[in-house]
Amino acid sequence: MHHFDYRDGRLYAEGIDVAKLAGDIGTPFYVYSEATLRRHISVFSNAFSDTDILVAYSVKANSNLAILRILANEGAGADVVSGGELARALKAGIPPQKIVFSGVGKTEEEMRAALEAGIYQFNVESEPELDVLDALSLKLGKQAPVAIRANPDVAAGGHDKISTGRKEDKFGVAWADARRLYAKARAMKGVLIKGLDLHIGSQISELAPFEAAFRKAADLITDLRADGCAIERLDLGGGLGIPYGAGAVPPHPDEYAKLIKRVTAPLNVQLIFEPGRMIAGNAGILVTRVIYDKKGEARRFLIVDAAMNDLIRPALYDAHHDILPVAKHAEASDVTYDVVGPVCESSDFFAKARKLPEVAPGEYVAIMSAGAYGAVQASQYNSRPLVPEVLVNGDKYALIRRRPSLEDMLSLESNPEWLD
């Protein structure tokens, strides 16, 4: 469910007319619906209202400070994967006691910042990381609360590039090695074992892989407790998919919750979740203007002013995004377009052979479901300025990240003195 709907043939973001907004901001830009974000986090939390949980929003899905502030106000914590994301989460007002730190390559510097902030949990992803964390905590006179991320060897996720829980993936420690590592961690003075962590992938649209992984986790907790480890928390990661308008329709959070409660009830653990896409995905759209309607030899190309540097998901993951005209014309007939950007790469496209109502140069189209893994993956490739972000709340809107000027962009670069 989201709050992007037509009123008399014009697309609105909550109470804001998207075409008018485009006139004010200039295209391309992202627009997010605050009501949608709030709704998603509460649907998720309500599904577990009778359970002890921490919802640690996965910051990497959309890390804009205003988005994080909304989620902080809703009581969410954060799952961060870098020192930069930790700084953002703290700046947005997310309490350190609600922050977990994931990622395979945490540096000592990042660990230090997290220890000094007093975060809730480190999700440790390898033995060398455990060694470094232990030594650093001892040096700082602290004890790091840890969960070890174990890899259940379950294939899941909407695309090969977003499956994370198979043997060949770089994440977590081998399932068969987990008990040895927990025994090692137990003997360490710089770390304190709190829980078990897993995260098997993203855009998962069926319950079966979750169930397979979570059952394995429940068994492992039983074994770890038999080994003498006090496991109080189970971090089940993120990964619940969203409807993109094509492909499988993922389960509702209520069904996901029912499965989890069934599998984990006997364990008596606090559950931690790291949803990202499920919170932010359908809360954002990318608005772009048609530059040309190019009738190629074999295809008709709708060339728009957004590009793969603004939203890379189609190029990177073959992702489907619905594309809607911002103004619907009753008389428009459908045309089959390749919707592409101006970047000089063949992979710069948003849709291939897509049927859309005919749109003219100068008109706007909206690329839907772009709130997660959109703006955060944007770059300045082809010297295109980073795409701005707008937040809508009812009939108010605010620019929450401005478009950098060319001067801003060039100011980071300089000639070495020998070229001057």
Ligand X SMILES: *Cc1c(COP(=O)(O)O)cnc(C)c1O
Q: Is 88 annotated as a binding residue?
A: no
Active site members: 344
Query: Is 129 assigned to a binding site?
Result: no
Which residues, 6+ apart, have CB-to-CB distance to 180 below 8 Å? none
Near ligand X by CB under 6 A: residue from 61, 191, 324, 390: 61
Per the listing, tokens 């037509």 go with 6
* Other CB atoms within 10 Å distance of the CB of residue 394: 12
CA distance 364 to 329: 12
- 276 is an interface residue for ligand X by CB under 6 A: yes
Q: Which range of residues in 208-216, 232-240, 342-350, 401-409 is near ligand X by CB under 6 A?
A: 232-240
238 binds ligand X (CB under 6 A): yes
Min dist. Cβ of residue 76 to ligand X (A): 13
d(CA 76, CA 98): 8
**Neighbouring residues of 210: CB distance < 8 A, sequence distance ≥ 6:** 156, 200, 204, 236, 239, 256, 259, 260
Q: How far is the CB of 277 from ligand X (least distance, A)?
A: 4
Contact segment (CB under 6 A) with ligand X among 236-244, 264-272, 292-300, 385-393 equals 236-244
- Do the strands 270-273 and 284-295 form a parallel or antiparallel pair, or are they unpaired? unpaired
Span interacting with ligand X, options 14-22, 274-282, 289-297, 336-344, rule CB under 6 A = 274-282
Task: Tell whether 317 is in a known binding site.
Answer: yes
Q: Which stretch binds ligand X (CB under 6 A): 18-26, 58-66, 245-253, 328-336?
A: 58-66
Which one of residues 27, 36, 45, 58 is an interface residue with ligand X (CB under 6 A)?
58
> Does residue 295 contact residue 334 with C-beta atoms inside 8 Å?
no
Name 405's Cβ contacts closer than 8 Å, sequence gap at least 6. 385
* Interactions with ligand X, residue window 180-219 (CB under 6 A): 199, 202
- Rounded Cα distance, 280 and 301, in Å: 30
Could you tell me the smallest distance in angstroms from the CB atom of residue 334 to ligand X? 33
Tokens for 330, please give them.
Answer: 């009753």
129 binds ligand X (CB under 6 A): no
> Is 152:216 a contact under the CB 8 Å cutoff?
yes
110 near ligand X (CB under 6 A): no
Annotated binding site for substrate: 277, 313, 317, 345, 373
In the complex, the residues that contact ligand X under the rule CB under 6 A are 58, 60-61, 79, 102, 199, 202, 237-239, 274-278, 372
